[in-house]
Amino acid sequence: MNAQDNLAKWENTTKLPKYLKDQLTELSKDSSWVEDAFSQDINFGTAGMRGRLEPGTNRINLFTVGRVTEGLALLIEENGEEAKKRGVAISFDSRYHSRDFAQHAAQILGKHGIQVYLFDDLRPTPELSFAVRHLHTFAGINITASHNAKQYNGYKVYGEDGAQMAPDNADRLFSYAQKVDDIFSVETAPVEQLRADGTLQLIGEDVDEAYLAHLKEVTVDPEMVKANADKLKIIYTPLHGTGKMLYDRAFRQGGFDNVIPVPSQSIIDPEFPTTIKPNPEYRDVFEPGFKLANKVDANVIIATDPDADRMGAAVRKNNGDFQVLTGNQIATLMAYYLLVHMKENGTLSSDYELVTSVVSSALPFKIADDFGIKTKHVLTGFKYIGEEVDRMNKEKDGKFLMGFEESYGYLFKPFARDKDAMQGALMFAEVASYYASKGMTVFDGLQEIWQKYGVAYEITKAVEMPGIGGQKKMAELMSKLRKKHLTEINGTKVVKIQDFETQETIEDGKKTPLTGFPKSNVLKYFLDDETWVALRPSGTEPVIKAYVGVNKKDIETAEKAAQEYQEVLAKLLK
């Protein structure tokens, strides 16, 4: 694709709304921006497409959203009348243009005679996943860039099972989208007409009620929660996004009466003004929460990202300071709590299964082994956890205990098939309630787990490699690492390598097939000291991710070792 020819088309069309035209005039002064925005089509990654809200074929705007929706419409048509009748559920988050894009997608699908259920207002990603299952639609669309900075937006597509669309269908959709000759001529039907003939239906409170009814299933020990309600004060922040729509009812019906929202962050705002990135991974998003927690003497802060699929938490330590937990630590606490509870009340059986990604902490698996339940590794992408739920249901060969990813995603009850921060918030609140009932802090609980199983400490670092140049650099780095495999990292011997791209395991110089995973550009190293290291280009951001997980006796040694490994990796990725 020639960037200049492509740019000329965008400059000459009369279809650009004024804000895009103005942006184009300004941004196109920079030739490297033009190259990046116009020399290729925006791709489908781990979670659909995501990019800066700017003009260009490699960006997110009305036209790239339109083209991909046309691709989805063609995919649905290929599946026949029944698929068209079942239609598509559409939701959106609190970002700039999210609502417009959602309506635009509805009008394109409507033009094809495809039934559309459009949320009347912003809603969490997991509620959209639930809505697809609840309404038996053929697909779902969510307009969101999740936890990215305010300059971004995105488009997540869901299959009929409520999980993000699996690669085969997503690839078909994308190839249909690429067949759209003229990105400016995707046809739409007027909203009034679609409303009048029933092709476009609004949904909202009806789906909320059904989703909330299911959320009640998440709490495993409602009596314990009730008995300890007054011992627990929780600060909650939706980080200016969709969690605001449901948190109050969700917590209240779960028996958590003492939940206090952070006022400044409960304002729905696409500027995300209290954050740099509205990502619960970062300490700074908790700052307003810390202040409030100190004022009202709360011990736990729960944050959900703007589309409420990720959940992060900070807990008070005995010295009064707050510790922001990692997604791995949160998942560890939850898995341990569930297993202890089930063992105590006699409901634990070896059929239960814990599912996580190959770049997540090894500690929950160690705990799962100790309790005698099954474990399963999948690639990054919650859709793969969704697939495991399907497999367990179809083959009746397991019961889903929980799925999690280090990137702050958790799922307990598969009525949603994407990570569900509302479920996560409820489960974390229950964990906090459990420790409060024992006169312990959540942080004490984590220490107790570490004492029993050893300290697992993980650090994920993302090295930015933006633009087409960045993509090339990431490809070169990965290929260099494949040509000459690392034999040691920071002086510690590499004992095994898993290459998910070539689908091989390399051990003692011997290669054996690595089965059970689709191909993916990931390298995972296992070291002599129980450390694991993984490298992969992200599917949602222009970054290469370096993951380190160490296993040590105490937290100080663990932190230090993980930092040192990360420093070595940083040099390697320069």
Ligand X SMILES: O=P(O)(O)OC[C@H]1O[C@H](O)[C@H](O)[C@@H](O)[C@@H]1O
Q: Which two tokens stand for residue 25?
A: 């005039």
Alpha carbon 92 to chain centroid distance? 15
Binding flag, residue 313, ligand X (CB under 6 A): no
Binding flag, residue 430, ligand X (CB under 6 A): no
| Closest by Cα among 519, 528, 529, 522 to 546 | 522
Binding flag, residue 55, ligand X (CB under 6 A): no
Under a CB-based contact definition with an 8 Å cutoff, are residues 495 and 509 in contact? no
Q: Are β-strands 504-507 and 352-357 bridged in parallel, bridged antiparallel, or unpaired?
A: unpaired
Residue nearer to ligand X on the CB measure, 299 or 304: 304
Task: Please select the residue that binds ligand X; options are 23, 115, 129, 146, rule is CB under 6 A.
Answer: 146
Residue nearer to ligand X on the CB measure, 95 or 111: 95
Residue tagged 């791995």 (tokens): 328
Residue nearer to ligand X on the CB measure, 52 or 316: 52
Range in contact with ligand X (rule: CB under 6 A) among 127-135, 348-356, 404-412, 443-451: 404-412
| Closest by Cα among 88, 113, 82 to 194 | 113
Binding flag, residue 405, ligand X (CB under 6 A): yes
Binding flag, residue 304, ligand X (CB under 6 A): no
Active site residues: 146
Which residues, in sequence order, are bridge partners of residue 90?
Answer: 118, 141
Range in contact with ligand X (rule: CB under 6 A) among 91-99, 137-145, 232-240, 377-385: 377-385
Whole-angstrom distance, CA of residue 500 vs CA of residue 509 = 17
- Sheet arrangement for strand 300-304: 259-261, 234-237, 300-304, 311-316, 322-324
Q: Which two tokens stand for residue 379?
A: 């690639």
Binding flag, residue 155, ligand X (CB under 6 A): no
Q: Residue 119: enclosing H or E segment and its boundaries?
A: strand 116-119
Task: Please select the residue that binds ligand X; options are 23, 39, 199, 540, rule is CB under 6 A.
Answer: 540
Under a CB-based contact definition with an 8 Å cutoff, are residues 132 and 140 in contact? yes
Binding flag, residue 538, ligand X (CB under 6 A): yes
Q: Report in angstroms how near the CB of residue 403 gets to ligand X at its nearest.
A: 10
Q: How many residues bind ligand X (CB under 6 A)?
A: 14
Binding flag, residue 279, ligand X (CB under 6 A): no
Binding flag, residue 381, ligand X (CB under 6 A): yes
DSSP 60: B
Task: Please select the residue that binds ligand X; options are 142, 274, 304, 380, rule is CB under 6 A.
Answer: 380
Binding flag, residue 407, ligand X (CB under 6 A): yes
Binding flag, residue 58, ligand X (CB under 6 A): no
Binding flag, residue 103, ligand X (CB under 6 A): no
Whole-angstrom distance, CA of residue 293 vs CA of residue 262 = 9
Binding flag, residue 57, ligand X (CB under 6 A): no
Residue nearer to ligand X on the CB measure, 312 or 381: 381
Q: Where are the alpha helices (DSSP H) in 322-400?
A: 327-344, 363-370, 382-395
Task: Please select the residue that binds ligand X; options are 382, 428, 525, 547, rule is CB under 6 A.
Answer: 382
Interacting residues with ligand X (CB under 6 A): 46-47, 146, 380-382, 405, 407, 409, 538-541, 545
